[in-house]
Structure 1
Amino acid sequence: MRTVYVNGDYVPEAEARVSVFDRGFLFADGVYEVTSVLGGKLIDFDGHAARLERSLAELDMPMPMDADALLAVHRRLVEENGIDEGLVYLQVTRGAADRDFAYPDPAPAQTVVLFTQEKPGLADSPAAARGIRVVSIPDRRWARRDIKTVQLLYPSMGKMEAKGRGADDAWMVEDGAVTEGTSNNAYIVVGDTIVTRHLGEEILHGITRAAVLRMAREAQMRVEERAFTIEEAQGATEAFVTSASTFVTPVVEIDGAPVGDGTPGPVARRLREIYLDEARAKGR
């Protein structure tokens, strides 16, 4: 049975409790982060901690503890649960209060929950080796996608629609251009240039995205941050996605049309290799 963290206590998962009045449950009034674990080490932890602080600030919430204390909680859970490859999920909500749309005043104690998920073979994913197929769907989420909130119903619906259409995931489209995947950032390769949507409130500012783009530039690859369409993506040389849990994963089909020759391309394969090498070397 897993050990989980709930509001300062490490408890067996069957004993974990959160109030029915918690605003994360009632209003999705909370944010989350997911940090990957490879070889028992936390990947890109500093980036996730910084984004957590930013997301909380956008919702007028403080950090529940400083980054060092947060790191200690992550490390203890990884150790107690024997995670070699997997994930640590963190969620912070505004806390429990009587139901009212207005933020409670005075502010209640925040709810802080962390748990691990064991994912053997995370780095050697079959999906990364064969590539994934995506379909396009309208982007019907709220406008502040740069805040990593727990309101994930539409992305869940998108994944289920993709599954129902025989695909692995969906890319969301707004005003004719791709925003992002249901739980990842989206990229195409046009000639010798990696193209991905520019940062803004329309997409999540991916931690893996930032690391991969830095690595691409260090490897002398050309990067262009701009919007692109599904049609441009279908005609691209390659396509891929990035996220904390899938790293760099090739996309080989979009809305039934093969991308390139329909197999994972060299740019995505190389970026995944570079990312995993650095992640293993610099993990905390």
Structure 2
Amino acid sequence: MENSNQLNNELQAKIALVTGGTKGTGKAIAERLVNAGATVIITARNAPEKENSTLHFISSDLSKSEGAQKVVDEILSTYGRLDILVNNLGSSETPAGGFSVLTDEDWESTIQANLLAPIRLDRGFLPQMINQKSGVIIHIASIQGKLPLYDSTLPYAAAKAGLRNYSKSLSNEVASKGVRVLTVSPGWIKTENVQVWLERISKTSNISVEEAQQSVMNALGGIPFGRPAQPEEVADLVGFLVSPKAGYLTGTEVVIDGGTIPTI
């Protein structure tokens, strides 16, 4: 375990952006980067419930091109550069039921948020990163890019698979220009919203919260580690990947799923 002094120094003077950084895994990542000494900007549609003076919040809808451009313009005008971009924003709000219940709007809104939003931000910040010959871009994908659940998250899984492919291609293009690009693919993460969801399942199905959690793990084919990830565990991985300690890593996908994916 790294001590606090090491964390406070490793990202000193770095400017970082974490999208979807007001709650869940994004919030944990933002706090991890702050603890490592970075100046951190977070963005989401709605402001965080509790204001954090150590984070610069920008309200924006990144599923729209003008929302992404607003973030790029504000950061570059305020700070002059960006050193670390964590494309964490992701959502799956489409109905269950497979292909037949999904409309064009379901597909388009999911692809906008999960694939096009990071593409737009990369395009906005990469010229400056290339000019300074340094930068790190992290794409938070999902194991559903490899292990899709067709009944409930078909567009989300397809978008994340596209993000994985795009991330690898981009890394090949910009590695020689000083910019590292990596993909992090988490499995199931037990955020506060997931806990609320499990409690709702527990109540409606008349089972314990533990049984509700097990039923979800069973639907995923099991998690050998025996539990979902904590947001802080994903945040620690991201903190390492954006640090100088990972300076030779690029073009790599790192899976953090407790062993959920059954193949090598």
Task: Please tell me the TM-score bracket, short chain as reference.
Answer: under 0.3
The structure that is strand-richer by fraction is 1
Q: Which has the larger radius of gyration?
A: 1
- Counting helix residues as a fraction of each chain, which structure ranks higher? 2
